[in-house]
Structure 1
C-alpha cells in the first residue's frame, strides 16, 4: 500500500468514474435523443450528472463562498479572504470585511487537519464574522506540497499554531474545533512559557480529545486495537506522479473517504439514488441540500503521514497530552504554565466521536490557572457536528463563547445574542 501505483490506481478509478458520468451526461444531451420519448435517456443524463459531480468534488478544494456581509449600516460590504501568514503546510487567513470598523473581538479559529479542508467551518465563520475579526488556519493538501518542504508532524503543527498566535498578538481569542484541541492547548502552554507577552487572551476548546480515555468511543477504541505497524502498512501511501507532492508519504483523502462512506453505506447510497431521481424529475438544483452537503463532505485532502501517525501514537495511544508529557523539539511542554489565559471547554452530550469528558480534561491539566479563569459547558442533545455548527452552535454555544471572551477582555463588549446574520 506504500507505493505510488496504489495511489495512482485510486486516482485512476476516481477519474474513470468522473469520465463515465460526463460521457453519459453528454451523450444524453445529443439533439437527436430529444425526438425519442424514452425516459431511459433522462435517467442516463441524471445518473451522469450526479456521478460526474460526485467524483469531481473529491479532488476539488471548496470555495469559502463568503463574498458579502450586511453590516449595521444596512449596506452590503465585500469580504476579502486575505492571507496574512503563509507557510508550506498551512496559511493563516483573515476574513476582512471591507469598509467596516475593526471589531474588538479578534478570533483565531483553529481548523482540524483531519481529512477535510478548513471550509468545513464555513458556517462557524459566518456566524462569528457578524461582530468579530475572524482568522482561520487554512491547512494545505499534502499531495500539493513538494517533498523538499520536509516533514510535518504534531510538533510542527504545534509550532505553526504558536507562530500564528504570535502574529495575531495577545488580544487574540483562540477557538479550537475538534482534532486540534490538544495541540492548541499545548501550543498555548508552550507560548506561555517561552513568550508570555504573546499568549492569547482566551482559549476555547470545542469537542477535542484532550484525554481520549476519559470516555472511550469507537474512535479511541480503534486506536487501541491496531498497532502502529498495521496502521502504517494499510493506511499510508506515496503521492502519485500527477501532483506536486509526488513521492510524499500521506494518508490519502480518498482512502479516508472510502472509510467514511462504508460506515454508513446504506444511508449514502439512498441519498445518491434519491438525488438521481430528483435530477431526472428536474427537482434538483445546483445548491440544494444534497449538493451543499456532499460538495463539502466529498472534498477530501491528504494528510502528511507523519502527522497522522504521530497523532494516533502520541495523542491517542500514549496520551502524552492527557498525561502532561508532551514534547516539542526536545522540550517538555507543561500545561501548568498557563496562568492567565482563560480556558473554556465545550462538549456535546451526544458526541460519539469526542465524548463528554474527553475535552473537559483540559481544565485539570491547567494547574496554574485560577478557578475563575476556567469554564465548561455541555450542550444537551448536541452531537459532534452540532457543537460548532447548526442550531446548537448558533442559539446556545456561540453566545456563551462570546460572553466568555467578553468576560475576560480588557474592555469587554456586550455579546450580540440576537445578531442577524446575512452573509452571501
Structure 2
C-alpha cells in the first residue's frame, strides 16, 4: 500500500496542476474582463493554457496522425491502421494505404519500451510508408494491464519479438530502434536455432546498447552506480486503484518523465517560459514547434517493474547480450548461430544515450555470419533521435537502410551498397 500511495500521490499532483491550469485559463477568459484590459490576465490565461496542456498530455496516448501517402499513381492514399496480432502487453499493428499496391519491402519496426509510446517513431513510419509495407510493435501502458495477465520481463519481451517475426514470415526486414536492439538480436538468434525458416531477411540495429560498456555514457554509468535493491526501492511503485492494472508493480511513466526533464532542466524551463510568452502575445498556434515536440515528449507510459529491473540487471550490469550468455526460459541463445540474416548497425557520432561503439559491437558477436552480410554506418553529427528521425534519418540513413534491405532481398550475399560500410570492430567505430 505504501507504493500505491506514492503512485496515487504522483497522479494527484499531476491532476491538480492540470486543474489549476484549466481554472486559470477559464478565469482569465471571462468575457466581462475584456472591458478592462489587463496584461496580468493575459499572462494568467497564457500560463493556464500551457500548464493545462502540459499536465494533460502526460496521461494521453498520442494519436498516430499518419498523413495520406502519395502513391506511384500520384494520388493520395489514406492510411488504415489495423491490428495484425493482439497480445496483453503489446500489439503488432499494420499501416496500410488504401487502394495502393503493397510495396515489396515488408518492414517490421521494433519500437522501444522505454517510457514513451511507439508513436515516438511516427516520423520514421511516415518516411518508410511510400516505399515499404510497414508494421510496428505497439507496447501497452502497464498501468492498464490487469495483474492477471502475469509478468513481463526481458525474456517475455524477446519471445514477443519472436512471435511477431514468425507471424510476418521470412521475407520480413526488421529495424530495431534503440532499446530493443539487443533483444532483437537475441530473438533472431533464438529463431536461428528453433525455427531457421522463420528468421527475417535482414536486421538493422539503430542506436542500441548491444554492449553498454563499449563506450560508457551517463545512462550506463547510472546502471553501475546503483544496486538492484536501490533501484527497486526508489523506482518501483504499485499502480493505484484508478487504473485497470491496480496492484501491478511498475516503473511509473511520471517518474521516468521527471528523470528525463532533470537531465536538461534549464532547457525545458526556458522552452516553457518562451511558450507562455508566445501564447500571451498571440503568436503561438495549436501545431507550433513547441506543442508538436512536447505533446509527444510528455506522453509517458508505465513499464512493468520486472521488465525494467531485468533490463538493467541483464543488459547493462551483467552484459548478457554483449558476452553472448543470454538465456530464454533456461535455454542459451547463441548469437553466433545467426548465419543467413544480413545485419546492419547504425550509430550517431553525437549520441549521448547509446554512444558509438555500443551498437556496432553486435557485428563482433555474429561469428557465424559472413562479412559480406554485415554492414555499419556512423552518422556524423547526429544525436540519438537524429538517427531515426529528422534530417539525418531522412537524407542519409533511410536511403542506406533501404539499399541494405534491397541488397539482402535481391542478393544472397547481401553486399552492402552506397555509404554502408562492411563490418568494423567497435573500437574503430568509436
Instruction: Indicate the TM-score class for this superposition, using the shorter chain for normalisation.
Output: over 0.9
Q: Is the 8 A contact 1:50 1:275 kept in 2?
A: yes
Mean CA deviation greater in 31-40 or 183-192: 31-40
8 Å Cα contact 1:346/1:360 also seen in 2 = yes
- 1:143 equivalent to 2:124? Answer no
Structure 2 match to 1:111? 111
Query: For the residues of structure 1 that align with 2:161 and 2:284, how far apart are their CA atoms?
Result: 41
Greater relative CO (CA pairs within 8 A, separation 6+): 1
The alpha-carbon deviation at position 234 of structure 1 amounts to 0.1
Q: Aligned runs of 1:5-16 on 2, under 5 Å? A: 5-16=5-16
3-state SS, counterpart of residue 409 of structure 2: coil
- Greater Cα shift, 258-267 or 134-143: 258-267
Spell out structure 1 runs of 4+ moving beyond 3 A. none
Alpha-carbon distance in 2 for matches of 1:16, 1:190:
47
Residue 134 of structure 2 aligns to a residue in which SS?
strand
2:168 matched residue in structure 1: 168
Structure 1 length-normalised TM: 0.96
What is the 5 A alignment of 1:222-233?
222-233=222-233
2: distance between equivalents of 1:37 and 1:201? 66
What SS does structure 2 have at the residue aligned with 1:377? strand
CA deviation after TM superposition for structure 1 residue 73, in Å: 1.4
Are 2:408 and 1:408 equivalent residues in the alignment?
yes
C-alpha separation between the residues in 2 aligned to 1:9 and 1:116? 21
Residue deviations 1:344-372, cap 9 Å, x none? Answer: 00011111111111101101111110110
Return the offset for 1:262.
1.3
Which residue does the alignment assign to 1:364?
364
Within 2, Cα distance between the matches of 1:2 and 1:236?
Answer: 11
SS in structure 2 at match of 1:43? helix
**How many pairs are equivalent?**
414
Partner of 1:311: 311
Answer with 10-19 or 33-42: which moved more: 33-42
Mapped partners of 2:355, 2:264: distance in 1: 20
* Superposition CA RMSD, Å: 1.3
Q: CA deviation at 1:164?
A: 0.2
Per-residue deviation, 1:42:
1.0
TM-score normalised by structure 2 residue count: 0.95
Q: Deviations over 1:182-214 (max 9, x none)?
A: 000000000111011110000000000000111
Query: What residue is the counterpart of 1:243 in the other structure?
Result: 243
Segments of structure 1 that go 5 or more residues without pairing to the other structure are 418-424
Per the TM alignment, residue 411 of structure 1 is displaced from its structure 2 partner at its CA by: 7.3
Q: Where do 5+ consecutive residues of structure 2 fail to align?
A: 413-417, 419-430
Instruction: Name 1:81's counterpart in structure 2.
Output: 81
Distance 1:177 1:153 in 2: 19
Q: Distance in 2 between matches of 1:78 and 1:382?
A: 32
- Conserved 8 A contact 1:2-1:236: no
Separation in structure 1 between the aligned mates of residue 88 and residue 169 of structure 2, nearest angstrom: 22
Query: Match for residue 52 of structure 1?
Result: 52
Residue of structure 2 equivalent to 1:395 = 395
Whether contact under 8 Å (1:117, 1:139) holds in the other structure is yes
Take 2:34 and 2:268, find their aligned partners in 1: how far apart are those partners? Answer: 32
TM-superposition CA deviations, 1:124-177 (whole Å, max 9, x none): 001001110010000000000000000000000000000000000000000000
Supply the distance in 1 between the matched residues of 2:165 and 2:121 (Cα, whole angstroms): 19
Matched with 2:38 is 38
Q: 2-side partners of 1:54 and 1:266: how far apart?
A: 17
Q: Deviations over 1:296-315 (max 9, x none)?
A: 00000000000000000000
| 1:368-398 deviation per Cα after TM superposition (whole angstroms, max 9, x unaligned) | 1011010111111111111101111111100
Query: In the TM superposition, what whole-angstrom CA distance separates every residue of 1:220-274 from its partner, at most 9, and x where no partner exists?
Result: 0000000000000000000011100000000000001011111111111111011
Given that residues 2 and 233 in structure 1 are in contact (C-alpha distance below 8 angstroms), is that contact kept between their aligned partners in structure 2? Answer: no
SS in 2 for 1:408: helix
- Distance in 1 separating the partners of 2:2 and 2:228: 14
